[in-house]
Structure formats: C-alpha cells, structure tokens
Amino acid sequence: MIVLGIETSCDETAAAVVACDGDGPAVIRANLIQSQLSEHAPYGGVVPEIAARAHLAYADSLVRRALAEAEVSPDDLDGVAAATGPGLIGGLIVGSMIAKALAWAAGKPFLAINHLEAHALTARLTDFVPFPYLLLLISGGHTQLLVCAGVGNYRQLGTTLDDAAGEAFDKAAKLIGLGYPGGPAIERAAASGVPGRFPLPRALPRPLKGRNGCDFSFSGLKTALRRAVEQAGALGPASVADLAAEIELAICEALADRTANAIECFRQQHPEGTSLVAAGGVAANTRLRRTLAALAEGAGLRFVAPPAALCTDNGAMIAWAGIERLRLGLTDGLDAPARPRWPLDPHGIGSPRLARDLTAAAR
C-alpha cells in the first residue's frame, strides 16, 4: 500500500509518501517540509492569510518532488490523503483541493485526515504501538489526554481550560524576548540555564497541580511570568537562559502531574493497555520526554514518543493515517469539507477559550 500525504493545516507545507506491505513495517519513502517561518516571523506568530498564500505557492512543487523522491507516479498510489482539519481554513482548502484533484485525475481514493488523529497514530508508524494506549497530545493549538482505543475511536480524559501547552511555550518565549516558535527557542536557551537561579518574586505556578482530574491550565503561569519580567526590567542573556529553564521545568511538571492522573484512569479502564504515547510539536522537547519516560516507567508502562521531526507537523503522519484508514476501507468522497474545528472525541468538552473565540467570531 502506497499513500501520498499532504499537510497544510498551519504554517508548514508538507508532502510525504509512505509505503506499507500488509501488516509489516511502514517505510517513509519521501517526507518533505517547506517551513514558512521566515514569512511569519516578523509578526511573532502565524498570519492565516500569509499561510494560505504560502501553501498555494509551495504545495504543488513539494508534491511533485515527494513523488519523484519516492520514485512513484500518481498511478502507483493506492490513495491520496490530506489534512482536512482542524486548522486554518485557507491552508486546509489548498491542501485538500490538490489532494482531491490528484485523486480524481488518477482514479484513486481520497482520504480526509484529521490532523490530530495523524499526530495520535504516528507512534504506530514508528513503534507499532498496539491499541489501546494513553496519549498526551500536545501541540500549538491542542493539549489533550486521550485513550486511543482504535482508528477513529478516541476518548478524551482531559483538555486545557485555557492555553495549549505549545501556546504557553510560545507566549512565554515572547515575554522573555525569544523568537517564534517559542518551544524550540526556550529549549535551546534553557540548555545553558538553571531552574530556580533567577530571583523570581514568586515561583512560577504549576497550574492545577495536585488536583483531581486530567485537565490543564497554563494562563496563570503566563501571568506570573509577565509580572516577574515587568519587575525585573531588562534581561541579560544569562537571565533569559535561567528563566527559559524555569519555564520549561514548570510546563513539564504541570504536564506530568495531569498525565499521572490520566495513567490512573487508563489503568483502571484498560488494564490490558501497555503504553503511554506523547505526540504533537511539544513532544519534541527533551526535558519533557525524560520526565514522561520516568513517569511511565514508574507506572509499568512503555513510553513512546516519535522522533522529534515526526512530532512536529509533517506529511508522513498524514500519509500513515491514510494507510490506517484505507486498510479499514474508510475512504472519503471528493465533497469532504475542510473543517477548522474537528475534535477527536466529539463527546469531549472542547477548550472553553476556543468556545469563547468561536462565539465571539459568530457575533
């Protein structure tokens, strides 16, 4: 089975070809990414209109190059997959229209992929993780704990009450004068810093730590940091490094605390489950991976996090999700819509902030 995957939901244009022989291991035959960082950097975040135009400019040639590198033609494909949500609508339309056109012209099935499901299933591409597993999905727009019981079968145990973990990294980086995206910038700066060394008026909070449940909150951390930075005035490189280390530690501890509660739930509900999986851009963070690995080991679970390049947005995860769905005959019509909002667990409670944003946008 050979599937082309196209990812255009945010600020990375990506195209990949993944091949899989029956139930055997999958091979990533091509995995190309065109980052739009330089286009968005002057604005300190992703500008949706710029993203949509950049996807339009890059996607076509990226798809051609991915097919050439994988040494396949559209006729050799078994399916064409594209992320059709959730994400920025302009980019989603660009990627899904290219995929639909290719699928139609080559007479192949189209696969409308949920970007979050693609993150969720990546550990099965890289490490053959069997269902059910506990997933900590941490990206720029989402922070969720989910039980993954099968393809298309996800149950949310917890979500963020305000910011996503990646958003917390991005906003904190901005507050201490580091660039976008903030996660990698904070990780780099933290490497030469020491948590606890910067004299904070009050330690950064670990929101909801010690409370029941599996929800997250990061806005208190951001507010405490803003106050501390305002009081401190100009920050030299050593202070930035120490603050970055403090922020990284606080976010990791907050994530680990909530994940520990989720492990308890997961083990009660699924004693047969063996793995804790981390996915999404924030799962690229080395300190977090170490923290979660220790947590999983203490609970007798295997910890799996895909290589960093497959944690952040990429085309291989879309192609792989396409293979998983194609195997089950879950193909889509060419009328499949692009969906800015598309929760993995429709019964889960979405982020209240997102709900507020959507209500405000509707007004």
List residues near Zn ion by CB under 5 A: 139, 313
Binding piece for ligand KG4, criterion CB under 6 A, among 97-105, 175-183, 214-222, 349-357: 175-183
**Cβ within 8 Å of residue 118, ≥6 positions away:** 5, 7, 83, 317, 318, 320, 321
Cα angle at 84 between 43 and 99, to 5 degrees?
Answer: 105
3-class SS at 47? coil
Q: How far is the CB of 216 from Zn ion (least distance, A)?
A: 17
User: At 213, phi and psi to the nearest 5?
Assistant: 90, 175
User: At 314, phi and psi to the nearest 5?
Assistant: -160, 165
Q: How far apart are the C-alpha atoms of 199 and 149, rounded to whole Å? A: 46
Residue 25's alpha-carbon distances to 18, 20, 28, 190, 276, in angstroms, are 11, 6, 10, 36, 21
Question: Which of Zn ion, ligand KG4, none is residue 183 near (CB under 5 to 8 Å by kind)?
Answer: ligand KG4
Question: Which of ligand KG4, Zn ion, none is residue 181 near (CB under 5 to 8 Å by kind)?
Answer: ligand KG4
Which CB, 102 or 354, lies closer to ligand KG4?
354
Binding piece for ligand KG4, criterion CB under 6 A, among 22-30, 179-187, 204-212, 344-352: 179-187
Take residue 138 and report the two structure tokens written for it: 């941490």
Question: Which of Zn ion, ligand KG4, none is residue 170 near (CB under 5 to 8 Å by kind)?
Answer: ligand KG4
Tell me how far the alpha carbon of residue 148 is from its chain's centroid: 15
Q: Is 13 exposed, middle or buried (0-12, 13-18, 19+ CB in 10 A)?
A: buried
Binding piece for ligand KG4, criterion CB under 6 A, among 26-34, 74-82, 96-104, 178-186: 178-186
Chosen residue from 139, 160, 261, 291 binding ligand KG4 by CB under 6 A: 139
Q: How far apart are the C-alpha atoms of 17 and 6, rounded to whole Å? A: 9
The pattern of x and - marking residues 316 through 345 that bind ligand KG4 according to CB under 6 A reads ------------------------------
Query: Are 94 and 235 in contact, with CB atoms under 8 Å apart?
Result: no
- Hey, which residues between 185 and 244 contact ligand KG4 (CB under 6 A)? 187
Q: Does 247 bind ligand KG4 (CB under 6 A)?
A: no
Which CB, 66 or 172, lies closer to ligand KG4?
172
Question: Which of Zn ion, ligand KG4, none is residue 13 near (CB under 5 to 8 Å by kind)?
Answer: none
Q: How far apart are the C-alpha atoms of 127 and 6, rounded to whole Å? A: 22
The pattern of x and - marking residues 4 through 43 that bind ligand KG4 according to CB under 6 A reads ------x---------------------------------
Binding piece for ligand KG4, criterion CB under 6 A, among 134-142, 143-151, 256-264, 335-343: 134-142
Residue with tokens 């597993």: 133
List residues near ligand KG4 by CB under 6 A.
10, 139-141, 166, 169-170, 181-184, 187, 280-282, 284-285, 312-313
